[in-house]
Chains A and B, each alone.
Chain A
Amino acid sequence: MMLTRKALPRRLFLRGMGAAVALPALDAMAPALASSQLPGKRPVRLAWVYVPNGIEMQHWNPSYTGKLTELPRVLKPMQELKDDILLLSNLTHNNGRALLDGAGDHGRCCGTYLTGVHVNKSAVDIKSGVSVDQLIANQIGDQTRFASLEVGMEDARQAGDCDSGYSCAYTNNLAWRSETQPMPPILNPRELFERLFGSGPALSPEARAQRNRFRRSIIDFVTEDTRKLQAELGPTDRRKLDEYLSSIREIERQIEKAEKDNAQIDPGMDKPYGIPADFAEHFRLMTDMITVAFQADLSRVVTFLVTREGSSRAYREIGIPDGHHPLTHHQNNAEMREKVARINEYHVKQFATWVGKLKTLKEGDSTILNNSMIVYGAGLSDGNRHTHHDLPVLIAGRGGDALRTGQRLVYRKETPMSNLWLTFMDRMGVQMDHFADSTGRLEGLSLT
């Protein structure tokens, strides 16, 4: 067999009837001499998964430092993945503190989380800073179809007072394009799906309506292209493509099922079309789409605001009818603390399922997880006392063999969280001397 240097274009799409489906990274896209035995440079993905209202830290911080062994209760769902994660302690967002502005820790902590700045206390005159994800997206975003993706599961209101004089823009957004321009998350799975896989302006409204009327999978519209491509691929890539297209079909099916289920719910409820009622299902749908976005290199920078900061969502799925936020102001009531711990555990369980899936998805001689850095954390540590130090930080993935995972690192107290974001920017090729209130980079993370 003669090897040639001709490879499939990286930006190849399967097309048909106005649909365009991006492809995952296939070996056939590398130069012909590359094989699965040779290490290939895969893009590094960065994601933040943010949970509100702090965490029961006594069940989050291990009692030891160094190599991870037995994980504490809230992190137990990550036990099988302990070698793929990093736990960092003592990172602080000083600018999330009151600093003479009085009440409003929820508004501040979320507004500060990725910007590092002390946001302006106002319900109308919003002012934050450019968030770290956007700084990275500005640098590498031209390499993907979407510079960044902003995803959420609850309440994308941008106006109004959501916390003691702080605008809802602060509690309901993680990403900020500029100091006055938040980037609202997409909440509806169908909207996210169509953003990622829709046909764009080429499809006329009539054609789009016809496609929707037939309720066929987007995959069905690219059958001819798929068949042609499969004939050109090796067995590994054929299998990878099959898995990928199956994932998309499954996501579509889940969205349709969720919409059908919602249609049976009393229409008197103001339930958005396409948003599953079940938390775990909604979480899974969103992360499945993030996964596909990573596979197809549609974006390398994602923020996921699981629920808005200060969320009072109940978790009836796990038998908790009380609002999350009120529970976290437990004043040391044992029963309330127990419920908060269960909510924290439930969140981590969903995250663990997603991370576990990323670990199974191969990319050359590596996996998508290995080529990612996914931060799971919160803008507050103790939700009862509204503390902004020792913030919970878990990093899943090695950032392309850059991070030394499987350990807990404890930094000096008051070490700025901005130091971590600066370190991430280094990894993603963004050259900055400092970021917000950073004092330097974090030591001990890197393999090099």
Chain B
Amino acid sequence: MIDSDLGVYSDTLLALALAFGLDAKNEARVAALSVSRPDLSAAQFCESVRNFYSGLRGAAAVRMFGRALPVGMAEGPLVKPTPAFESVLARKSADGQPVYGNNVVEVNDTAEPRALIRNAFTAQHDQNAILILAGPATTLARMMELPGVKQIVAAKVRYLVLAAGDFRSGRLDPRVEADPAALTRLLELWPGQVIAVGCEMNESLPLDQAALETAWAWATEHPIAEAWKQSKPGEIRTRDTVALLHAGRRHEKYFAESEPGMIRVSGKGVTEFVPSTGGRHLRLSADTAQLEKARAAAVDLIATKPTPRGPRRF
């Protein structure tokens, strides 16, 4: 399950592609997607991406995926649409139909995110779910406060991968700065393990833009590739990509996990990792020995072709 501020960083697009790459290779299932900003274009884009990876197109995908869980979106006044998403979603095929169809027309076509993610957990086998947060913690903190959720999480979720925080001294991550109290609350309530991937990991997995475009060469239509190119990434930050790669292939040890500790959040949003025996938090750092292996894996997963598969039924 992924809750992200999709549309803010181009890195998140790559992370989304990587997640669906894991899905296409049968290593994981993307069970729920939620956008932590009230950006309708981001929610529409998420649903289009999900439809794209089903291997179906247009109306057929829309019909099939009417059965799957909808995309969640944070509450609040809608923000301006993300230009890259608007542009991609506006693409029409020769018959005038949208190339990337989706069912989201208005806010009520998206899901209330707390209920969505909780409901997705309830359908998992015990200890079979991984939650990735790549955005402010507002939605997840509120979800954790729902009655019974803590018990559900303890049963169903292996760990939380937290693509938020900056563990270099005194630095601020805008994702935490947006709502520091929410992250504090989430960490207080979360019953299991948390793996933090801080901003310092942005440079830990250098991805070559040309290499990505080559890997995507097979795709005449690819919503993520198109959106990513339009977002003019320039220098590629990869914190979110690292987070998803580690979430899905932790056993490969592409990155180093710290000794146990505790994440502290100041009132202003400065995050600090404090080693502590018995702590439930870990912090990720780069492992130069694994760099090439990690980079190859990331590019391969990001550029994986969709594997046609029907929607998972709860």
On A, residues with C-beta under 8 Å from B are 90, 92, 94-95, 97-100, 118, 385, 387, 410-416, 433-434, 437, 439
CB within 8 Å for A412 and B112 given contacts A94-B122, A100-B125, A385-B67: yes
Q: Are A413 and B119 in contact, CB atoms less than 8 angstroms apart?
A: no
Q: Are A412 and B110 in contact, CB atoms less than 8 angstroms apart?
A: yes
Determine the residue in chain A with the shortest Cβ distance to B104.
A413
Beyond contacts A98-B313, A411-B112: 4 other A-B pairs, Cβ-Cβ < 8 A, are A97-B123, A98-B314, A412-B108, A439-B114
Q: Is B111 an interface residue (CB 8 A)?
A: yes
B223 to chain A, nearest CB (A): 21
Q: Are A413 and B112 in contact, CB atoms less than 8 angstroms apart?
A: yes
Q: Are A414 and B108 in contact, CB atoms less than 8 angstroms apart?
A: no
On B, residues with C-beta under 8 Å from A are 67, 69-70, 72, 107-112, 114-116, 118-119, 122-125, 146-148, 313-314
10 A-B pairs, CB-CB below 8 angstroms?
A92-B119, A94-B122, A97-B123, A98-B313, A413-B109, A413-B116, A434-B147, A437-B115, A439-B115, A439-B146
Determine the residue in chain A with the shortest Cβ distance to B108.
A410
Chain B neighbourhood of A433, CB < 8 A: 147
Q: Are B119 and A439 in contact, CB atoms less than 8 angstroms apart?
A: no
| Separation of A387 and B311 alpha carbons in the complex (Å) | 14
Q: Are A94 and B108 in contact, CB atoms less than 8 angstroms apart?
A: no
| Separation of A155 and B109 alpha carbons in the complex (Å) | 38
Chain A neighbourhood of B111, CB < 8 A: 412-414
| Separation of A415 and B107 alpha carbons in the complex (Å) | 13
Determine the residue in chain A with the shortest Cβ distance to B69.
A414
Determine the residue in chain B with the shortest Cβ distance to A65.
B108
| Separation of A90 and B313 alpha carbons in the complex (Å) | 18
| Separation of A94 and B146 alpha carbons in the complex (Å) | 15
Q: Are B67 and A90 in contact, CB atoms less than 8 angstroms apart?
A: no
Select B116's contact among A90, A99, A414, beta carbons within 8 Å: A414
| Separation of A385 and B65 alpha carbons in the complex (Å) | 13
Q: Are A414 and B122 in contact, CB atoms less than 8 angstroms apart?
A: no
Determine the residue in chain A with the shortest Cβ distance to B71.
A413
B303 to chain A, nearest CB (A): 31
B67 to chain A, nearest CB (A): 7
Chain B neighbourhood of A415, CB < 8 A: 112, 115
Chain A neighbourhood of B146, CB < 8 A: 434, 439
| Separation of A412 and B67 alpha carbons in the complex (Å) | 16
| Separation of A289 and B69 alpha carbons in the complex (Å) | 42
| Separation of A118 and B119 alpha carbons in the complex (Å) | 12
Chain B neighbourhood of A385, CB < 8 A: 67
Q: Are B112 and A414 in contact, CB atoms less than 8 angstroms apart?
A: yes
Determine the residue in chain A with the shortest Cβ distance to B313.
A98
B138 to chain A, nearest CB (A): 15
CB within 8 Å for A99 and B112 given contacts A412-B107, A414-B69, A439-B146: no
| Separation of A410 and B108 alpha carbons in the complex (Å) | 7
A149 to chain B, nearest CB (A): 30
Determine the residue in chain A with the shortest Cβ distance to B122.
A99
B25 to chain A, nearest CB (A): 24
Select A94's contact among B119, B125, B313, beta carbons within 8 Å: B119
Chain A neighbourhood of B70, CB < 8 A: 413-414
A208 to chain B, nearest CB (A): 50
| Separation of A412 and B107 alpha carbons in the complex (Å) | 7
Q: Are B125 and A90 in contact, CB atoms less than 8 angstroms apart?
A: no
Chain A neighbourhood of B67, CB < 8 A: 385, 387
| Separation of A7 and B112 alpha carbons in the complex (Å) | 52
